[in-house]
Structure 1
Amino acid sequence: MRELSLRLVSVWIICILFTGFFAYIARSIHQHTISSFDEPIIDIIQGTQTSGLTSIMKTFTTIGSTTTVALLAVLTIAVLLWKKHKAQAVLFAVALGGTGVLNQVLKFIFRRERPDFDRLIDIGGYSFPSGHTMMAFSLYTILAYIIWRNLRNVWARTGITILAIFMIVMIAVSRIYLGVHFPSDIIGGILASSVWLFASIALYQRLQHRKSGKLQTK
């Protein structure tokens, strides 16, 4: 019990720190002092543009689209329910659904316009924080977490973790490459989704611990 409590305290401390970092980025955007961070990264990433790489980046952006994420979410929830992992299915739905709602709320609050230079695809809406990045981070992190809990093979766990990181990074970078997001949108998205995701997992672990404790006392 003490170990769980210490773990939960650590998670809440991380959430507070990440919220502080997010607030700092949001403040820098509002004060127009973030360009010294954004512009060099944009120059480096967009400086690698080729026709072949553009096609690859468009593919990763499509993978991170709402339609693809929704299909993967439905499939994952169906598999979890079929495997009788109801609590994990609820965790997955809460993590992903909450991320989507949080992204829309934050976009409405900050209303940052998208970059207006070297845009390779047409897109509307506000820029901060990146919705693709937030959803990709939540989707692949929660998938890795659930698979990690259900697998015991070290190599399988390692492979899933590497794949999750790769997908998150590629989807995030594709948004900068295609000219539809600033790097600060990406960082802000990761921070925002991290807070929601870590809080969701912490609550899930707390409830599961209580449930197992009640079963032991019966």
Structure 2
Amino acid sequence: MRLALAAVGLCAVATVMAYSESQAESPVRVPAPALVIANKAPTETAYFAGGCFWGVEAVFDRVKGVRMAQSGYAGGALKNPDYEAVSTGATGHAETVKVVFDPRQVSYATLMQIYFSVATDPTQLNRQGPDTGTQYRGAMFPTSPAQAQQARAYIAQLTKARTYPRRIVTRIEPFNGFTVAEAYHQDYLVRHPAQPYIVINDQPKVAALKRYFPQYWKA
């Protein structure tokens, strides 16, 4: 992800092969949130960070009821950050996906279930798979009190149930703005489906979405 795009296909294979199985992301369907707060508005927006935004975007883009999934940056103080600056880990931003959805078709609670099941491993601190640094941290940025309440309750629920073998480290952070990422990051999996990084890290997430949540699968 952090390598020059011209060489990322070849180098990503070496990078992926270098990290241990304990650092790999393993999709697993987790229980649905017990707390669901309905929203009858025609649209709602959510922000999820969970490692490289290519895979997170690809997952949400295929969820029925999602109108748009867009890669970008959130959680930092620098105005108008770009990929080069965020990749240093010094800006405080996380690679984040903006999800605009119809809550009458898919709830925020269901999006969280999908996020924790297939889009990210919530036990990896400041990393996801081969990508390391605070810019790859797992985080949710609630845009309303209802979202914040559901996010806190869901992490507490999964923690109490010992859903994962390790502690959940996904953060709930205040939303302080979102900057859209560069054009070449948008729809990256669609445009580069055979790239080794995508094949190894992100195609399994999309496949898991279809397998675990067929009722929400959008071709």
Q: Give the TM-score band, short-chain normalised.
A: under 0.3
Q: Which has the higher helix share?
A: 1
Q: Which has the higher strand share?
A: 2
TM-score by length of 2: 0.25
